Chains A and B, each alone.
Chain A
């Protein structure tokens, strides 16, 4: 469908993309992506899920097994627990950074942006190994603790849930900071000024104006961080131990070590269903804050 030119278009009647690309060309442009999605995602994932029910014969035994064996439910719960903690920590640590990035300018802004972006550009593998160097038995943290006399013998830091949470939070922090930053940066200064002028202290102005207006960014950051945490593989596999087994590691074991593809498919299906459910609940909870736009 071709839209008529807008009379008051700020671009002086220049055609919008809807006019520039006809339906044929538009279809052509999205085709590669659709093919990739179908061939590289829908087909293999569908096959995995299909296999979880119909291979070798039609049965829900794989799903029954997840419910019956406490280990699997325990891993599922732990995965969600770690994802929750990581997301909460990333929000607590990331929000002030996003605010600072949006408020300062010039060299300071560049410095903060570099601190956020350079880790993002560094391989997850490298950053996870960095945590091993920090947390191992005679690593940097233990040495510092012993030298300051806070502990006599090295503490067991690596291969714990704490290590997994710390490393994952650090790895995922940019995904929390960047969406919040992009929203906070676009909140006009006048809103905070108006709040201050009308009698709000700086804290009140933050909680009543800045925070509610930044919620779209918080929602995006929380969702991205939470979903990425649920499926995190490398970091928990490297800095975690048997006591911190997470879903993706479990699924990995089933496919590469035990070659039990149908059961791996069942685990993946349960993880996906639980993730979708949580995302829907979360969006519903925050839907109250929709319906307004900035400016």
Chain B
């Protein structure tokens, strides 16, 4: 099966005075895995419901392939969907659930039997056809939901937090399985989640939603390395935010002062800023915890930033150091666990350096 493109233009949804979705435009390429990422209330589920046809948009248009489906009934859109709680019909067996979309399409009996078997084999549940959904585990129900959504070979598959009810281990396993399945079948997937790690793992592109608007859309690395707004920087991955004042801006780069804590030096003006900051401008500087290098006082004479280690958290493959800067800010620093090498301890004085390209700079107030 081939995926179809999905085009959402100027899409909005009002509930009385509340605007749940505001003029969202997204072009999903055919065969792409696109995640709608955002906190609850950001409008991502409403957007998905409009694409599925369960909610009528207040404005804008939705196209699937070259067909305008804005006002098409949900049963005529030919979109697969996996619901948050799976929504398997409790009074039908697994096989009847999977056969349901084929029966609705009046596929002949022998063909239904063959395709149901194939679909259940696809999710490795070939022996479970005669069971009722209530007799399956959460992970198995999830697979049945996927089989049911794919059995009629829809060009587009919508998934509404499909892994939210599973425990962490199973969730990670299912993420990989779903991603593999999607690549093998070439179906276009629009995947709603509030879990940024899940979005980073699975997606070709991520659309970050906030308060009903599209905040940023891009590949996982784009969002992680070049967040357009502090919200994206904060929501996708972990970030340290530091209040800083621009001190100089000239041919040799920019320098931001952090009061008593020290300074941060950038080689060039960050591309996300509309205009280069002027000396005296207040800015927010964002740095990922794993980008910061931690130095012992003996390694460096005058490190740009100075602080004291307040706590060391061991997380297996890496350690997180909580460093209190001289000016009072608390910074998270992440370093991989090197066995045998001594690392700073609680109470140690340390220096911090930040590579120039790892720093994001945002205006103090949103323009």
Residue in B75, B89, B152 whose CB lies within 8 Å of A196:
B75
8 Å CB interface, B106-143 against A = 132, 134
Interface size class of A (residues with CB under 8 A): 20 to 34
Query: In angstroms, how far is the closest chain A Cβ from the Cβ of B362?
Result: 39
CB-based nearest A residue for B145: A194
Chain A residue with the shortest CB-CB distance to B76: A199
Residue from the set A188, A193, A201 with the largest chain B CB neighbour count within 10 Å: A193
Chain A residues whose CB sits within 8 angstroms of the CB of B104 once the complex forms = 198-200, 204
How far does the alpha carbon of A196 sit from the alpha carbon of B73 in the complex, in Å? 8
Most buried by A among B75, B91, B148: B91
- Whether B90 sits at the interface, judged by CB under 8 Å, is yes
Inter-chain contact A197/B91, CB cutoff 8 Å: no
Contact flags A253-295 to B (C-beta < 8 A → 1, else 0): 0000000000000000000000000000000000001011111
Q: Contacts A292-B91, A292-B132, A294-B90; is A196 near B85 (CB within 8 Å)?
A: no
Whether A196 contacts B54 in the complex (CB less than 8 A), given A291-B132, A292-B134, comes out as yes
How distant is the Cα of A36 from the Cα of B75 in the complex, in angstroms?
A: 56
- In Å, the complex CA distance between A194 and B81 comes to 7
The 4 closest A-B pairs by CB, nearest first: A199-B104, A190-B87, A198-B101, A194-B87
Give the number of A-B contacts (CB < 8 Å): 73
A124 within 8 A of B: no
The A interface, classified by DSSP as helix, strand, loop or mixed, is helix
Closest to A189 in B: B54
Q: In terms of DSSP, what is the predominant structure of the interface of chain B?
A: loop
Interface residue? A41 (CB, 8 A): no
Which A residues lie within 8 Å of B100 (CB)?
195, 198, 200, 208
With A197-B77, A292-B91 already in contact, 18 other A-B pairs whose C-beta atoms are closer than 8 Å = A190-B84, A190-B87, A191-B89, A193-B52, A193-B81, A194-B87, A194-B89, A198-B75, A198-B100, A198-B104, A200-B104, A204-B104, A208-B89, A213-B89, A213-B90, A289-B91, A292-B134, A295-B85
Assess whether A213 is in contact with B87, with CB atoms less than 8 Å apart. no
Chain B residues packing against A (C-beta within 8 Å): 52-54, 73-75, 77-81, 83-85, 87-91, 100-101, 104-105, 132, 134, 148-149, 152
The residue on B at minimum CB distance from A288 is: B91
B70 to chain A, nearest CB (A): 16
Q: Would B91 and A190 count as touching, CB distance under 8 A?
A: no
Across-interface contacts of A197 in B (CB, < 8 A): 52-54, 74-75, 77, 79-81
Cα of A77 to Cα of B88 in the assembled complex, Å: 44
Docked pose: A209 CA to B75 CA in angstroms? 14
Alpha-carbon gap, A291 to B52, bound state (A): 31
Select B134's contact among A190, A193, A293, beta carbons within 8 Å.
A293
A212 within 8 A of B: yes
18 contacts between A and B (CB under 8 A): A188-B85, A193-B54, A195-B89, A196-B53, A196-B54, A197-B54, A197-B80, A198-B104, A199-B75, A200-B104, A201-B73, A201-B75, A208-B100, A209-B89, A291-B132, A292-B90, A294-B90, A295-B90
**When the two chains form their complex, are residues A194 and B83 in contact, meaning their CB atoms are under 8 A apart?**
yes
Which A residues, 154 to 194, have Cβ-Cβ distances below 8 Å to chain B?
188, 190-191, 193-194
Interface positions of A (Cβ within 8 A of B): 188, 190-191, 193-201, 204-205, 208-209, 212-213, 289, 291-295
Chain A residues closer than 8 Å to B132, beta-carbon distance: 291-292
Q: How far is the CB of A214 from chain B (nearest CB, A)?
A: 10
**In the bound complex, how far is the Cα of B104 from the Cα of A142, in angstroms?**
49
Alpha-carbon separation in the docked complex, A287 to B134 (Å): 18
Distance A162 CA – B53 CA, assembled complex (angstroms): 46
B90–A293 touching, CB < 8 Å = yes
Q: Are B90 and A200 in contact (CB under 8 A)?
A: no
> Which residues from chain B contact A294 at a C-beta distance below 8 Å?
90
* Residue in B83, B84, B149 whose Cβ sees the most chain A Cβ within 10 Å: B83
Q: With A198-B104, A200-B104, A292-B134 as known contacts, state yes or no: A193 contacts B87, CB within 8 Å.
A: yes
**Residue among A198, A208, A291 making CB contact with B152, cutoff 8 Å:** A198
- List chain B residues, Cβ under 8 A from A209: 89
Chain B residues lying within 8 Å of A195, measured Cβ to Cβ, are 89, 100
CB–CB A199/B91 < 8 A: no
Q: Which of A198, A204, A212 contacts B91 (CB 8 A)?
A: A212
Tell me the complex Cα distance, A188–B54, Å: 14
Contacts of B90 in A (CB 8 A): 213, 292-295
Q: How far is the CB of B349 from chain A (nearest CB, A)?
A: 45
Contacts of A208 in B (CB 8 A): 89, 100
In the complex, the answer to whether A190 meets B83 with C-beta atoms within 8 Å is yes
Rounded to whole angstroms, the CA-CA distance of A190 and B87 in the bound complex is: 6
* Chain B proximity of A200: nearest CB distance (Å): 5
Rounded to whole Å, the gap between the CB of A49 and the closest CB of chain B is 41
Most chain B beta-carbon neighbours within 10 Å: one of A196, A208, A209, A213: A196
When chains A and B are docked, how far (Å) is the Cα of A291 from the Cα of B73? 33
Contact B75 A193 (CB under 8 A): no
* Interchain nearest-CB distance for B304 vs A (Å): 49
